[in-house]
Amino acid sequence: MPRPRSLNPIQIASAALAVIDEGGLSALTMRGVAKELNATAMCLYRYVADRDELEALVVEQALAGVDTTAPVEGDWRDRVAVLVRRMRVVIGCHPAVVPLLPVHRHRSPTVLRWTESLLAVLTEAGLDGTRRAVALRALLAYTVGAIQQEHLAPLSGGGTTAMAALSPAEFPHLAATAADAGRVDPDAEFDGGLEILLRGLTTD
């Protein structure tokens, strides 16, 4: 019997990411990844201990292209916006992975470096202690939530159309807002929400 070919973490993570991109997060199984690699599920356990470890590898693979260096141009809000937009562009290519980011943020070198740069900018802006911690969590929540909404519930989708068609007598504000929302493109939606959040992160 031929000896199974050697694998490495990048190959396994790439295969797992391909499985998720095609079938969603629920498709991520050892058997599914093994099939993508033309290997056996038992063979994978020589390289990853369990699904938890596999998920952490996937997160790092999905974020491999994120530039984590802190920008130097512009005021602190501009620099924070640059970091957040970088994350959006890269993880937006693999939206099904987004729910794994909060779970494995402490295990991803890319997330750790990106977060360190974000905190450096917030610190220079005068945010520290618990205010800095809350600001960081708010930015993480916005980034993750906005990416999920963009890909799972886009303003151009059927949900917006259905709400715009609601009875104005019963839902006057919702129907009108949905009609307006249908004309907002994804970039304007993301940047507009981020601007509102950043304006609220006062340093005085």
- Spatial distance between the Cα atoms of 154 and 148, rounded to a whole number of angstroms: 9
Classify residue 70: in a domain, yes or no: no
Task: Report residue 176 as tokens.
Answer: 């009108």
The pTM score is 0.89
From first to last of the 204 residues of the chain, give the pLDDT tens digit: 344 458 899 999 999 999 999 999 999 999 999 999 999 989 899 899 999 999 999 999 999 999 999 999 999 999 999 999 999 999 999 999 999 999 999 999 999 999 999 999 999 999 999 999 999 999 999 999 999 999 989 999 999 999 999 999 999 999 999 999 999 999 999 999 999 999 998 766
Cα distances (angstroms) measured from residue 158 to each of 36, 99, 170, 178: 33, 23, 20, 11
CATH of the domain at 140: 1.10.357.10
Reduced to 3 states (helix: H, G, I; strand: E, B; else coil), residue 74 is coil
The parent domain of residue 53 ranges over 9-62
39, 113, 21: which is closest to 48 by C-alpha? 39
Domain shared by 17 and 93, yes or no: no
Classify residue 54: in a domain, yes or no: yes
Domain shared by 90 and 31, yes or no: no
